[in-house]
Structure 1
Amino acid sequence: MRKWWPLVAVCLGTFLFLLDTTVLSVVLPGTGEELDASLSALQWVANIYTLVLAVLMLTMGALVDRLGARTVYVVGLAVFGIASLVCGLAPDAGVLIAARGVQGIGGAAMAVTTFALIGSVYRGPDMGRAMGIFGAVTGLAAAVGPMLGGVLTQYLSWRAVFFLNLPLVAVTVALSLRVLAAGRPGTGRRIDLPGMAAFAACAGSLTYALTLAADEGWTSPAALGLLTLATLSLVVFTRIELRSGAPLLDVRLFSRASFSGVMMCVAASTAAFAALVYTSVWLQSGLGLGPVRAGLALMPLALASFATSLISGRRLHGRSPRAILATGLLLSGIGCALQAGLDADSSAGSLAAGLALTGIGVGLMGPAMGAAVFAALPPERGGMAAGAMTTFRQLGQTLGVAAFGLLFQHHGGAMSEGLNRVLIAAAATGIIGSALACAFVPKPAAAKATGTRPRNLTGSR
């Protein structure tokens, strides 16, 4: 039993990191009422966390090279815990958004170190068991999040969601310091601060432009200015990375059609989760359900995803990531389409079948996503592939929430009409992603040759 304690320490942190992503799907409406926050502000409560994650994933990989995985992991936990305390005490939406951003800093540190920590302890069959358990924990966080958030919000307060993190962080830090090996910090590559700043400016201004356009329109001076800033920042980022000897992201990789296509599939895979934010708003503000009932209404997706990931992780291991990823994206898209068609007479039960099918698709995508990304590049670029995957996944969800907010607000009628638009857009994203997977994910022979787990999965080279 002693040899599994390091895995427990890593899984606890992963559970916390993912829980604070999924739990907000039922927490935001109550938060908005108490803090008198607008829909745009609520979007930022969700967006700032995933945006910071996307911006810092690659940078945290470089810090792991310099300081060691355990140090970055423990510091990330501490930052996450302190930020959770501030979230729980937040007097207004502005403080909550800022604290959520700091939470994202801790979350990024926790996320990039998990594979490195597991890989430093386990080998052979033990590695397979450890990764299976780790995959189940990620599915469990998705399944527990909506229900836990609903119970805490309805019977205590939305603030309890953040206060719950404090004892869990304390336990995880103590356990990590005891059972995880310190390791030797290396010299590592220098941190690409100019690249990080340019990428942050691009992602942040684009997200803000999408959110602002929902209120002021695309032609407003502020929205147009932000879109211009995003474009210029992207150009600057590209030039910096092309000239850097140690880039955050080697942009030359995007000259490979297979890599670009797979990254688009990664971004598309987040559409269903981005739509959940507005599904929850409709359930609580449109139908008048309490947080617990809203959480229960979303459980078909979470439970189907959890069960499918457990089964597919064991039964489909070693199979073609091309077919599995394409199928998962297609089912996710069709599931979102089945949820659409809501009207004034619709109930929470109207979503059940579509949510379950979406959950099956999400469960299939999880285990296959990493294999598809690594199959698109040579094994020696595995670290960069892992960093790009986590970055595109978080950025996809951030931009999805912002873009769907534009559709949700400008519906010109009942709230259900706005949600229908969101769900149709999510469905189209999943179906297009499936087509991209069929076209660009390497064929089974190539995937088999390059799909082994790379040594370094921290996001650095």
Structure 2
Amino acid sequence: MNTKRSENPAARRALVLAAVCLAALCMPLSFTGPAIAISAIAAELHGSPLALAWISNAFMLSFGGCLMVAGTLADRYGRKRVFIMGMSLFGAASLALAAAPSIALLDALRAVQGLACAMALSSGLAALAQEFDGASRARAFSLIGTAFGAGLAFGPFLAGSVIDHGGWRSLFIITAAAGLIALLIAARTMHESRDPQAGKVDWPGALSFTSALSLFTYALLQAPHSGWSSPASLGLLGGAALLLMTFVAIERRSARPMLDLSLFRLPAFAGVQLLAAAPAFSFVVLLVLLPARLIGIEGYTSFEAGGMMVALSAPMLVLPMLASLAAQRIGAAHICCGGLLLTAAGLLWLSQCAPGMPAATLLLPLLLIGCGISLPWGLMDGLAVSVVPTERAGMAAGIFNTTRVAGEGIALAIVSALLAALTFTALRAVPGIDAQQVALAAPFLAIGELQHAGELLPQLDMTALAQAYGTAFRHLLYVLAAITVASSLLLLAFLRHPASAHGTASSLPVCDTVS
């Protein structure tokens, strides 16, 4: 007790911030790193396209589905306790992933890793809110955003370097070590805090919400294999719809709901949720799809592919901060809309870069996509709480983060299924190929397993297969660009009215043309 009293408060808070920043850095590394490693994992553990797709989806689904309940647990049982438990679970899962003997166990451990990240993120941010206030709190949370941006920017490059030199298993050992350091720092420096007014955990709501997400994601991933109209697909989609309706009914009847559905009556709040999901289709899915293309189709090494991905993510280190400064003079809605339109232009530019073209031709469109998406990225979190009454800011932030992360998982499942369908169509256009052969080969080709697809379609050479993949990828980018343009226009319509129109006090100008 005397030690705590004699310690330097500023130094202690700085160490707490360092621990949470390190944890925040681990999260994008845990998403982007395995995306680079999928080809190496497939070569060693094999597995079907569906099982390989779950390497990314299991993490994102668990992460997004557990964020809100993890925040409630942190408020009720203690932020430090939940953070320590989260980082302990993260480290254990990462070490187990490094030793995983099968693809099925690896997928299950990725879900555990996602749960651990949800616990650490929710509790870590809540703990920082207790440690800092005023301008120092704003600086602390900006550093968290910088740590996240650094993980996105350099995660693929670091992962590629580690995989090329030490194999894919060493990637999980490194993330486990980083998690352990964050755990040790937090255990010594973080003070315990909890919300004395926190209610009970809404377990029925949490379970129905997570189960609905799981069934819907599984339906999307397996549909290219069993067919969209198959009993399996229809049963999974029907089950997801039933569970979603159950979740809505539970939340409407709950005295203290996990998700306050009345917030969606505010047009600006609904628009912010759209803003949370938009980057998933224009940016996040590329963090998984591009490494598969670069490594599996174009023959890049993991290190080279990671280096290429820096062009996509590096703008995250600078432009979000500049967007925040610009929002003091320009309406946030217009900055976000303009950024999404730039992103759509980058997607269309990238669609013209066929497999086999020089690497330099990819850099500028990737950089344009990264610059475009960085503009709304820097404003999203502020908008999430500025469009609701002040007393609902905490719940609004929780809903926003859930929408963002869960939306990324759903977007990845949708886009993966769409790419598989487009690949099937491109292969069917080649004369003299049996439809059953195409049905078996298309899912492998869609995830970048060119060699395996070639074994299933021996009548086609690798060049023809790469061309078919390029056609499918080009059409996919057309769809993603259209979704991004539509999102930007809808966003502008929803955010036409500032938060003050709903009786709230906002420090962030939503739209500068509304008086």
TM-score range, shorter chain: over 0.9
Q: Assess, with a 3 A threshold, how the Cα gap between structure 1 residues 156 and 317 changes in structure 2: closer, same or farther.
A: farther
Q: Assess, with a 3 A threshold, how the Cα gap between structure 1 residues 15 and 355 changes in structure 2: closer, same or farther.
A: same
User: Aligned match of 1:337 in 348, 371, 377?
Assistant: 348
* Per-residue CA distance 1:121-145 (angstroms, 9 max, x = gap): 1223322322332222111111111
Amino acid at match of 2:65: V
Please show how residues 426-437 of structure 1 align to structure 2 within 5 Å: 426-437=480-491
**Residues 1:405 and 2:416 are matched in the alignment:** yes
User: 1:144: which partner in 2?
Assistant: 154
Q: Give, in angstroms, the shift of residue 343 of structure 1.
A: 3.0
Please show how residues 24-39 of structure 1 align to structure 2 within 5 Å: 24-39=34-49
User: 2:375: which partner in 1?
Assistant: 364
Q: Give, in angstroms, the shift of residue 160 of structure 1.
A: 1.0
Deviation larger for 168-177 or 21-30: 21-30
Question: Is the CA contact (8 Å cut-off) linking 1:249 and 1:384 kept in structure 2?
Answer: yes
Question: Is the CA contact (8 Å cut-off) linking 1:279 and 1:419 kept in structure 2?
Answer: no
Please show how residues 206-355 of structure 1 align to structure 2 within 5 Å: 206-271=216-281, 272-316=283-327, 320-355=331-366
Partner-residue secondary structure (3-state), 1:377: coil
| Unaligned runs of at least 5 residues, structure 1 | 454-461
Q: Assess, with a 3 A threshold, how the Cα gap between structure 1 residues 315 and 111 changes in structure 2: closer, same or farther.
A: same
Question: Is the CA contact (8 Å cut-off) linking 1:270 and 1:397 kept in structure 2?
Answer: yes
User: Aligned match of 2:33 in 18, 23, 29?
Assistant: 23
Q: Give, in angstroms, the shift of residue 265 of structure 1.
A: 2.1
TM-score, normalising length: structure 1: 0.93
**Residues 1:202 and 2:221 are matched in the alignment:** no
CA distance in 1, matches of 2:28, 2:507: 25
TM-score, normalising length: structure 2: 0.84
Q: Percent identity?
A: 29
Count of aligned pairs between the two proteins: 453
**Residues 1:422 and 2:482 are matched in the alignment:** no
CA distance in 2, matches of 1:372, 1:390: 12
Amino acid at match of 1:163: I
Q: Give, in angstroms, the shift of residue 374 of structure 1.
A: 1.9
Question: Is the CA contact (8 Å cut-off) linking 1:69 and 1:117 kept in structure 2?
Answer: yes
Choose 1 or 2 for highest CA Rg.
2
* Per-residue CA distance 1:166-224 (angstroms, 9 max, x = gap): 22222111111222111246362111111111112211111011101121221111011
User: 1:387: which partner in 2?
Assistant: 398
Please show how residues 107-146 of structure 1 align to structure 2 within 5 Å: 107-146=117-156
Question: Is the CA contact (8 Å cut-off) linking 2:284 and 2:408 kept in structure 1?
Answer: yes
* Per-residue CA distance 1:357-390 (angstroms, 9 max, x = gap): 1111222122211222223321111111111111
Q: Give, in angstroms, the shift of residue 75 of structure 1.
A: 0.8
User: 2:457: which partner in 1?
Assistant: none
CA distance in 1, matches of 2:385, 2:344: 24
CA distance in 1, matches of 2:172, 2:505: 41
Q: Assess, with a 3 A threshold, how the Cα gap between structure 1 residues 382 and 318 changes in structure 2: closer, same or farther.
A: farther
CA distance in 1, matches of 2:488, 2:27: 28
Deviation larger for 296-305 or 227-236: 296-305
Please show how residues 38-53 of structure 1 align to structure 2 within 5 Å: 38-53=48-63
Q: Give, in angstroms, the shift of residue 321 of structure 1.
A: 2.3
* Per-residue CA distance 1:217-247 (angstroms, 9 max, x = gap): 2111101110111111111111111111121
| Unaligned runs of at least 5 residues, structure 2 | 1-9, 428-467, 509-515
User: 1:155: which partner in 2?
Assistant: 165
Q: Give, in angstroms, the shift of residue 317 of structure 1.
A: 5.3
Question: Is the CA contact (8 Å cut-off) linking 1:322 and 1:443 kept in structure 2?
Answer: no
CA distance in 2, matches of 1:160, 1:108: 23
CA distance in 2, matches of 1:141, 1:317: 27
User: Aligned match of 2:506 in 443, 451, 458?
Assistant: 451
Q: Give, in angstroms, the shift of residue 442 of structure 1.
A: 4.8
Q: Give, in angstroms, the shift of residue 405 of structure 1.
A: 1.2
Q: Give, in angstroms, the shift of residue 283 of structure 1.
A: 0.7
Question: Is the CA contact (8 Å cut-off) linking 2:59 and 2:110 kept in structure 1?
Answer: yes
User: Aligned match of 1:164 in 156, 174, 179?
Assistant: 174
Deviation larger for 78-87 or 132-141: 132-141
CA distance in 1, matches of 2:397, 2:38: 31
Structure with larger RCO (C-alpha < 8 A, sep 6+): 1
Question: Is the CA contact (8 Å cut-off) linking 1:321 and 1:371 kept in structure 2?
Answer: no
Partner-residue secondary structure (3-state), 1:90: coil
CA distance in 2, matches of 1:370, 1:335: 24
Please show how residues 81-100 of structure 1 align to structure 2 within 5 Å: 81-100=91-110
* Per-residue CA distance 1:415-434 (angstroms, 9 max, x = gap): 11222233222222221211
CA distance in 2, matches of 1:160, 1:442: 49
CA distance in 1, matches of 2:498, 2:63: 32
* Per-residue CA distance 1:318-362 (angstroms, 9 max, x = gap): 853212222222222222221112435434333212211111122
Partner-residue secondary structure (3-state), 1:181: coil
Amino acid at match of 1:399: I
Question: Is the CA contact (8 Å cut-off) linking 1:30 and 1:158 kept in structure 2?
Answer: yes
Question: Is the CA contact (8 Å cut-off) linking 2:72 and 2:198 kept in structure 1?
Answer: yes
Partner-residue secondary structure (3-state), 2:101: coil
Q: Assess, with a 3 A threshold, how the Cα gap between structure 1 residues 185 and 68 changes in structure 2: closer, same or farther.
A: farther
* Per-residue CA distance 1:101-156 (angstroms, 9 max, x = gap): 00011100111123322221122332232233222211111111110110111111
User: 1:77: which partner in 2?
Assistant: 87
User: Aligned match of 2:188 in 178, 194, 214?
Assistant: 178
CA distance in 2, matches of 1:313, 1:210: 36
Q: Assess, with a 3 A threshold, how the Cα gap between structure 1 residues 107 and 150 changes in structure 2: closer, same or farther.
A: same
Question: Is the CA contact (8 Å cut-off) linking 1:49 and 1:104 kept in structure 2?
Answer: yes
The CA RMSD over aligned residues, in Å, is 2.0
Q: Assess, with a 3 A threshold, how the Cα gap between structure 1 residues 67 and 23 changes in structure 2: closer, same or farther.
A: same
User: Aligned match of 1:101 in 111, 115, 131?
Assistant: 111
